[in-house]
Structure 1
Amino acid sequence: MTDNLPEVLLLHGLWMRGFAMAMLHRRLREEGFSVHQFEYMSVAAPPEQAIARLRKRIRSLGPGPVHVVGHSLGGILALLACRDDDLPQGRIVCLGSPLNGSGAARGLTHRWGGDMLLGRSRELLEHGLDRWDGAREVGMIAGRMPVGLGAFVGALGAEHDGSVGVEETRLPGLAGHCVLETSHTGMLVSADVARQVAVFLRDGRFDTPLAP
């Protein structure tokens, strides 16, 4: 816990490690947050293991507010970890997380080796969540720069970030949703994304004209 600075915990996505969040980490520090990384095994270990560890980590950064920012699969895990209200308060920002289920993941399961690539996270990525009814305000940043291989393995819809369709990121119960000109991996190095993350963590809303 860092005195007087809001705590933020970053979660990487599938097939990634914490260093993938390095640029976002630096930019959020420049915005005045105390930023921490959360590493987990996205393929070899069951999601329940990561969720239990994440809840423990959030508690360790309390008792003040602890915000969570998750990219892709990391955003889904963040919501599952924070469904109960027994954790320190805070907001969640998801970056390109297929909260409604991933068409790319479903497509991969029908290809040779797909199950192995998705590992223990397969079911969670395929089906997503029904809605968000937790106490935390949740914001979603989706991308619509179609650069990536996801469209070649599954149906992503008219607008997508190369891996996740914009409609796959819309979940009932979200406090805010905005769409930026970025690809799925490009979110991690985008200055616009970092600024919108900071805005939502402070205010519980985005300040783009595309936000509802």
Structure 2
Amino acid sequence: MHGLWMHGIVFFRQRQALARRGFAVRTFSYPSVRQGLAANTAALDRFVTSLDAPRIHLVGHSLGGLLVLNALSQHRDPRLGRAVLMGAPCCGSHCARTLARSLGLSAIVGRSMLDWASQDIPHIPEDFEVGVISGDRSVGTGRFLPGLPRPNDGIVAVEETRLAQATDSVTLHVAHSEMLFSTACIDQIVAFLGSGHFLHGTAARAADAAADAARRR
């Protein structure tokens, strides 16, 4: 599930990489600006129901991660396995709040994000495993909005991604949009979907080093 202003095509790199790791990947595109959270959650539920698979994992970037959480709180398909949230502002978004308060800019925040901000973090089943990936490479438009807490990924602060119900969490040296094609991020997704835990310590540092090397090429 993609984030605000995006389309499922942004997952092209991740789709290829995850397919090589043995996953059958499907992307869910939704109108992130004009439709509200309830409508998009219902559409996601219909999409999941339509999938012909014995086990289904969910991966959401930014607003897409919030959509995952909202869907899990309302209905749980018995085939669902694990979920990974990438740069999802679970605790609220400083950037979204700042834009929403700005004259003439509130519309670009989108109805779904505004709906999320108006509700409490939804409760998800205690036995459902959710992994949270955050980034601390501050490259993005958010750095031009005063007050964005550090560390951040240029759009979302690490502290904004915190989820009390998360099974595991990891912070990578990536920017918000880089999560869509980062090798380190893909490695962490595969690790969590396979085991319910991220790579930490030496394994995580190796993944970060590979990602840095890829950026320099």
Alpha-carbon distance in structure 1 between the residues aligned to 2:89 and 2:110: 17
SS in 2 for 1:187: helix
| 2:199 pairs with 1:207 | yes
CA shift at 1:122, angstroms?
A: 3.6
Contact 1:104–1:154 (8 Å) recurs in 2: no
What is the 5 A alignment of 1:47-196? Answer: 47-62=37-52, 64-84=54-74, 86-87=76-77, 88-126=79-117, 129-130=120-121, 132-134=123-125, 135-153=127-145, 155-196=147-188
Q: Which moved more, 1:45-54 or 1:33-42?
A: 45-54
- In structure 2, stretches of 5+ residues that fail to align are 205-217
Partner of 1:6: none
Contact 2:143–2:154 (8 Å) recurs in 1: yes
SS in 1 for 2:54: coil
Partner of 1:20: 10
CA shift at 1:130, angstroms?
A: 2.9
SS in 2 for 1:36: coil
Q: Which moved more, 1:98-107 or 1:63-72?
A: 63-72
In structure 2, the CA distance between the partners of 1:52 and 1:201, relative to structure 1 (3 Å rule), is same
What is the 5 A alignment of 1:24-39? Answer: 24-39=14-29
Alpha-carbon distance in structure 2 between the residues aligned to 1:81 and 1:24: 22
In structure 2, the CA distance between the partners of 1:68 and 1:129, relative to structure 1 (3 Å rule), is farther
In structure 2, the CA distance between the partners of 1:78 and 1:154, relative to structure 1 (3 Å rule), is farther
- Paired residues, number: 201
CA shift at 1:209, angstroms?
A: 2.3
In structure 2, the CA distance between the partners of 1:69 and 1:139, relative to structure 1 (3 Å rule), is same
Q: One-letter code of the match for 2:41? A: I
In structure 2, the CA distance between the partners of 1:154 and 1:122, relative to structure 1 (3 Å rule), is farther
- In structure 1, stretches of 5+ residues that fail to align are 1-10
Whichever structure has more helix as a proportion of its residues is 2
Contact 2:69–2:122 (8 Å) recurs in 1: no
Q: One-letter code of the match for 1:40? A: Y
Q: One-letter code of the match for 1:163? A: I
SS in 2 for 1:37: coil
SS in 1 for 2:111: helix
Q: Identity of paired residues, percent? A: 36
SS in 2 for 1:139: strand
Partner of 1:4: none
RMSD: 1.9
